[in-house]
Homo-oligomer: A and B are copies of this chain.
Amino acid sequence: MAMKVALLGCGVVGAEVVRLLQEQADELAARIGTPVEVGGIAVRRLGRARGTGLDPELFTTDAMALVTRPDIDLVVEVIGGIEPARSLILAAIKNGKSVVTANKALLAEDGAAIHDAAREAGVDVYYEAAVAGAIPLLRPLRDSLAGDRVKRVMGIVNGTTNFILDRMHTQGAGFTESLEEAQALGYAEADPTADVEGFDSAAKAAILARLAFHTRQVTAADVHREGITGVTAGDIASAEAMGCVVKPLAICQLSEDGSSVGVRVHPAMLPREHPLATVGGAYNAVFVEAESAGRLMFYGAGAGGAPTASAVLGDLVAVARNRLAGTSVAEGGHDTGLPVHPMGDTVTRYHLALDVADRPGVLARVAEVFAENHVSIKNVRQEGHGDDAQLVLVSHRAPDSALDATVRRLRALDTVRSVASVMRVEALNNAD
C-alpha cells in the first residue's frame, strides 16, 4: 500500500519536491519499502497546478481538509511563516499524520508545543531543511552526538549575509552596493530585513541551541540579535589588517559552568585560519565543538529549491520508514531545562578602532577605562598620526556587559574623537 503525501505549498521548494517524488519514484519506493504517492497539494490559488504534470484534481485551496483527510499518511509543509502553517501542522498531527517541515520560524517559536503534540499522537516531526538547507546537521546533532556533550555550535546559517560580507571583502564594496548585487543575483529578497537584520539566523540559532543542549527553553525571542547593516568598509579593512574576515555568525554556547546557554547572532571577526573563514559566497557551514568528538564542521548549500528539497526528501524517507515500522521518534522528551543567559553574561572579545587625539596620555586614559571595567587588553597598536591617529585594540575575553560598558565610557572620553569600529572577535579556541 502506497504512502500518501499531502504537500502544503507549491513554490520553489514544493515544486522541486513534487518533481523529485515523480522522477525518483522507483528509488524512493525501494528505499522506503513501499511507493510514495502525492495525495494532494494545497495552494493559495489553483493556477499553480499548471506545468507540474500532475493531475489538476490533486490541487486544492482547502489545506485544512487536505491535512485531515483519512487517506493521507504524511504531510510536507513548505509554506513557511507562523500561520496558517502552525494550525495545519497541529491538525495533521492530531489526525495521526507524520510531518516533514522546512519551517524555521514556526519551530523556533513553537517547537516545544509541536514536539509535545507529536509525542502524544505517536507521530514524527522532522525538519532537517529548516536549518542550513541540504546540510545534514540536525540529524547529526540529535542522533550522532547523542552520546557526547556539545560545548559550542557556531555557524554561518544565512547565505544572503555571507554573500554580502564576502563581496565587501573581495570587491571592496560597501554594504548597500553588495546588498543590491545580492538582490540582482537572487540571493537577497526585495525586502531583505529577515536576512540582514538577523531574524532568519536567530530562528535557526534557537533550533540549533535546543538540539545541541537538549533544552526546550530557547525560542527566537531569546536570541541576542544584531544585523549586518552596520558593518562598514572600515570594519572590513580593520578585520583584514588583523588577518581576519567578517562573517555573519550564529553562536550557541554553553556557559563555562554548564548551567546556562548563550545564543546570539551577530557579525564577528574570525581569523583566516578558522575553518568557517573560508566559507564563501552563499554557502553555509556549521562548526560544532563537543567534549569527546572534538571539532566537527558541516558544509554545503544553505538554501535553494533543489538542496532544500533534498533535505525534505531525506526526512520523508525516514518518516515513511518509521511509519512502515510502526514507530516514531519522540523529540524533546528529555529536557535539561538549561535556561538562556542574557547577552551581557556571555563571554566575548571585542575589536575596537578609536579615532583619537594624537597626544601623550591618550593610551593611558583609554587603558584606564578598560581597567575600570575589568577588561584586559590583548593588544593595541596606533595607526596614522595627527588628525588621522587611530588606536586599534583587541580585548581579552570578558563578559559582554563589561565590554559594552567599556565602549560606552570610551565614547564619552574627550580624547576619543569617535569609535570608528566595534566588533566581536571569535577565536578557533573557545578558551583563548
Question: Which residues of A line the B interface, CB within 8 A?
Answer: 16, 20, 24, 27-28, 30-31, 33, 128, 134-136, 139-140, 143-149, 214, 275, 278, 290-301, 304, 306-307, 309-318, 321-322, 325-327, 329, 333-334, 336
Please give me the residue from chain B that is nearest to A285 by CB atom: B297
In the complex, the answer to whether B275 meets A292 with C-beta atoms within 8 Å is no
Provide the residues of chain B in CB contact with A33, threshold 8 Å.
333-334
The oligomer's copy count stands at 2
A139-B144, A143-B314, A318-B146 in contact; A297/B297 too (CB < 8 A)?
yes
Taking a contact as CB atoms closer than 8 A, the residue among B294, B298, B300 that contacts A301 in the complex is B294
Provide the residues of chain B in CB contact with A144, threshold 8 Å.
128, 136, 139, 311, 314
Q: How far is the CA of A311 from the CA of B291 in the complex (A)?
A: 12
Ranked nearest first, the 5 interchain pairs of A and B with the lowest CB-CB distance are A147-B313, A136-B144, A136-B140, A292-B310, A134-B293
Q: How far is the CA of A136 from the CA of B139 in the complex (A)?
A: 9
In the complex, the answer to whether A294 meets B300 with C-beta atoms within 8 Å is yes
A30-B334, A31-B214, A325-B327 in contact; A147/B295 too (CB < 8 A)?
no
Q: How far is the CA of A144 from the CA of B128 in the complex (A)?
A: 8
In the complex, the answer to whether A294 meets B317 with C-beta atoms within 8 Å is no
In the complex, the answer to whether B334 meets A147 with C-beta atoms within 8 Å is no
Provide the residues of chain B in CB contact with A310, threshold 8 Å.
145, 147-148, 290-293
In the complex, the answer to whether A314 meets B31 with C-beta atoms within 8 Å is no
Q: List 24 A-B contacts (CB under 8 A).
A: A28-B147, A30-B336, A31-B334, A33-B333, A134-B293, A134-B294, A136-B136, A136-B143, A136-B296, A145-B314, A146-B313, A146-B314, A146-B318, A147-B317, A148-B313, A278-B278, A291-B310, A292-B306, A293-B301, A293-B310, A293-B311, A294-B307, A295-B300, A297-B300
Provide the residues of chain B in CB contact with A31, threshold 8 Å.
146-147, 214, 334
Please give me the residue from chain B that is nearest to A36 by CB atom: B147
Q: How far is the CA of A214 from the CA of B128 in the complex (A)?
A: 22
Please give me the residue from chain B that is nearest to A134 by CB atom: B293
In the complex, the answer to whether A135 meets B214 with C-beta atoms within 8 Å is no
Please give me the residue from chain B that is nearest to A146 by CB atom: B317
Provide the residues of chain B in CB contact with A296, threshold 8 Å.
134-136, 298-301
Provide the residues of chain B in CB contact with A313, threshold 8 Å.
146-148, 292
Closest CB of chain B to A286's CB: distance in Å?
Answer: 11
Provide the residues of chain B in CB contact with A275, threshold 8 Å.
278, 299
